[in-house]
Structure 1
């Protein structure tokens, strides 16, 4: 199909991008294009201006900032998966990113674009929530940061204002923790019917701490706080971890659609949470 007519702008810096966005009520940001371009082709989006961030090298790269990693919003999925800093300090992000779509999409799609799209069936929002990511944003009033717990507002909706640009994501280092991302899909390249981001810290043969984020179990990513509390002191044994995951769906409002009804997703959340925690714990 043919997309609607729009003006195309390729700004020279973030300040120009913010200015152009502020001059239009219907502007859209183009990052990797893996979400926006299909919307344009099917005429599900009607922007009057498309602001292409592809020329802004300042929004690319990964660097060590001591207690955290800085990841530019225009860093591609492929770069995230292969980066040694990500693998060493927050491997959950690399694991989940490696399951996104297919190699072609991972070479073009960007971390910032995926997170800003805020699809609850996307893999990375739940990971950002689990890892306490911080979103660095530039708008007309300057720079500010938004914690992951406040960034995802509703279905395909974030705390970004229309004239904001997500410039980077800052993720704390999770040294001493182990991770696993588990998801269930109809086909290898499909969106997750349910996904689970699990992080555990072991001590003396038991789980000292655990964090669990759920994909596609509501209009935004969800932290399974009940499971996290239940995991403290549980023996690092597969059966015990599965038993402690029985309430994984307690704080969720899963959708019903062609891929599965809400009760089916609740069942998947319980099963996949136990599986993800067991794999993260190495049992």
Structure 2
């Protein structure tokens, strides 16, 4: 199928893109990688008056190392996160999660900002943003503002972006050097949307107990879910198999997705506990590997 007619705009600066968003508002869509937007256009789920192509905006394609954060431009291709030295050093959860996104061809076109703005609750980058307490940087006619990842995702493919705003970057806090991390996902086939996924970042204290823990889960609700109850159940506890399994059950009340063609709600509840347990266990194993110099 062919997309509906629209006015094509290709700004060269962020200010030009914002001006176009202000002009067209809800009648416009932003084209970055196009991995989700183009199919939506072709099957007429999206019928914009204007399409704003941001691929010429160089300021959106930078990865910048800051004292305590890593800023990733919205136009950065997903594959760049897999091998970029600063990303691997400062936020190593990201390269691991990106490897689960579609196939290599998708990652060479898809962008970081595109995935965040699309806000599919099964996607990997929204999940990691919530797990890492990332900040989403957006710009509108009144200037720039930041939105915490946990507040940015407001519903299924619904975000805190205003109609005249453009997502320009994602700021990730630098992970502690002593932290262990893991991203676990279960899908019917490699490259398919996840039936459930989990990101975990763990830090142990000198006694080997959880000093801090961040866990986020994908594809179990309309938005990525921060598993605060799981975290609270483990802080101060030893990372035993029994403790982790017991805490993983705390995710069950947060599974709100109903039955669909891929899985029943009951199965997703079970699967959520499985991916949470696996992610935390793998993150703890990485902490031990670090302490043993591996």
Provide the C-alpha distance between the structure 2 equivalents of 1:256 and 1:54, rounded to a whole number of angstroms. Answer: 38
> Offset at 1:249?
1.9
Q: 1:195 aligns with which of 194, 197, 201?
A: 197
| 1:43-62 equivalences in 2 (<5 Å) | 43-62=44-63
> Which position in structure 2 is the counterpart of 1:2?
2
Are residue 17 (structure 1) and residue 17 (structure 2) matched?
yes
> Offset at 1:252?
3.2
Are residue 42 (structure 1) and residue 53 (structure 2) matched?
no
Find the residue that maps to 2:252 and give its secondary structure. coil
Mean Cα displacement is larger for which, 245-254 or 113-122?
245-254
> Offset at 1:89?
1.6
Are residue 245 (structure 1) and residue 248 (structure 2) matched?
yes
Provide the C-alpha distance between the structure 2 equivalents of 1:202 and 1:85, rounded to a whole number of angstroms. Answer: 24
> Offset at 1:150?
1.0
Are residue 104 (structure 1) and residue 100 (structure 2) matched?
no
Higher helix share: 2
> Offset at 1:40?
0.8
> Which position in structure 2 is the counterpart of 1:223?
226
**TM-score normalized with structure 1 length:** 0.97
> Which position in structure 2 is the counterpart of 1:267?
270
Q: Check whether the contact 1:242–1:275 (CA below 8 A) recurs between aligned residues.
A: no
Find the residue that maps to 2:269 and give its secondary structure. helix
RMSD (CA atoms): 1.2
Provide the C-alpha distance between the structure 2 equivalents of 1:250 and 1:84, rounded to a whole number of angstroms. Answer: 39
Q: Check whether the contact 1:26–1:48 (CA below 8 A) recurs between aligned residues.
A: yes
Q: Check whether the contact 1:214–1:224 (CA below 8 A) recurs between aligned residues.
A: yes
Find the residue that maps to 1:199 and give its secondary structure. strand
Q: Check whether the contact 2:121–2:222 (CA below 8 A) recurs between aligned residues.
A: yes
Provide the C-alpha distance between the structure 2 equivalents of 1:259 and 1:39, rounded to a whole number of angstroms. Answer: 21
**TM-score normalized with structure 2 length:** 0.93
Q: Check whether the contact 2:221–2:254 (CA below 8 A) recurs between aligned residues.
A: no
> Offset at 1:22?
1.6
Structure 2 unmatched ranges of 5 or more? 289-294
Q: 2:279 aligns with which of 259, 276, 281?
A: 276
> Which position in structure 2 is the counterpart of 1:145?
146
